Chains A and B, each alone.
Chain A
């Protein structure tokens, strides 16, 4: 049973560019959440998707957007990149039903460096 997968592993972009990160949830999960982890910090919630719609959003600007596909996989898009967007981006998946909704499984992350 494959866990949460993310691609790419590492990415280097220039200020002002746009980036797309991808996530496939754990088998049986229908909800995907995205987190940003700056160096030396705990992860911060960006947003959550299920049924192909954004359901919750953290304190991140509109430059951060996402999408969920019918197979539950998800993309995170960041426009007009800033140096401060350099971070590890983590995807987490969960199920919306029962006790399983309380627990999220994390992928290995995508390390984004903005120069």
Chain B
């Protein structure tokens, strides 16, 4: 079973609408969880991280994520998206000091 699963390969959403990008993790990885964003032709930028503490994590650019241990999920949310949020989003987990990535979700903002 895949360690980190992103349930949607693409998510289209209208500008200024809310969005949720889904991520589930398996028990084979630690609960140190991350969301990275990759803009076209660029490297990875850390959006937010969960290491411990509050299950609601706030990141950059208005994004937030909620760690849910019972559902083994770490979904990413933003209340109102902007055209500049067009990018690939990767959910990831730390396993034995390696970062294990999901396959990514492409966020497509519709005008």
Which A residues have a C-beta under 8 Å from some C-beta of B?
Answer: 31, 33, 35, 40-45, 48, 55-56, 58, 88, 90, 92, 94, 99, 101-109, 111
Which of B32, B36, B43, B96 is within 8 Å of A56, CB to CB? B96
Q: For chains A and B in complex, what number of residue pairs have CB atoms within 8 angstroms?
A: 60
A107 to B104, alpha carbons, bound, how many Å? 18
Closest Cβ neighbor of B34 among chain A residues: A103
> Once the chains are docked, how many angstroms separate the CA of A48 from the CA of B96?
11
B30 to chain A: which residues have CB within 8 Å? 102
| Contact present for A43 and B51 (CB under 8 Å) | no
Chain B nearest CB: distance from A101 CB in Å? 6
Name the residue of chain A whose CB is nearest to the CB of B92.
Answer: A42
Q: For the complex, what is the distance from the CA of A55 to the CA of B98, rounded to whole Å? A: 11
Residues of chain A lying within 8 A (CB to CB) of residue B94: 102-103
Give bound CA distance, A33 to B51, whole Å: 20
Bound Cα distance from A101 to B30, whole angstroms: 13
Q: Given that A107-B43, A109-B43 are contacting pairs, would A42 and B103 also be in contact in the complex, using a CB cutoff of 8 Å?
A: yes
Inter-subunit contact B90/A42 (CB<8 Å): yes
Among A40, A55, A90, A102, which residue has its beta carbon within 8 angstroms of that of B44? A90
- Residues of B bordering A, CB below 8 Å: 30, 32, 34, 36, 41-46, 49, 51, 90, 92, 94, 96-104
Known: A42-B90, A103-B34. A33 touches B44 (CB 8 A): no
State A42–B103 Cα separation when bound (angstroms): 5
**CB of A107 to closest CB in B, whole Å:** 6
A90 touches B43 (CB 8 A): yes
Measured between beta carbons, the chain A residues less than 8 angstroms from B98 are 33, 45, 48, 56, 58
**Contact pick for B49, options A92, A103, A111, CB 8 Å:** A103
9 nearest A-B pairs in the assembled complex, by CB-CB distance: A42-B101, A108-B43, A106-B44, A102-B32, A109-B43, A45-B98, A102-B94, A42-B103, A106-B43
Q: How far is the CB of B57 from chain A (nearest CB, A)?
A: 13
Expressed in whole angstroms, the Cα–Cα distance for A88 and B98 within the complex equals: 18
Instruction: Give min CB distance, B86 to chain A, whole Å.
Output: 16
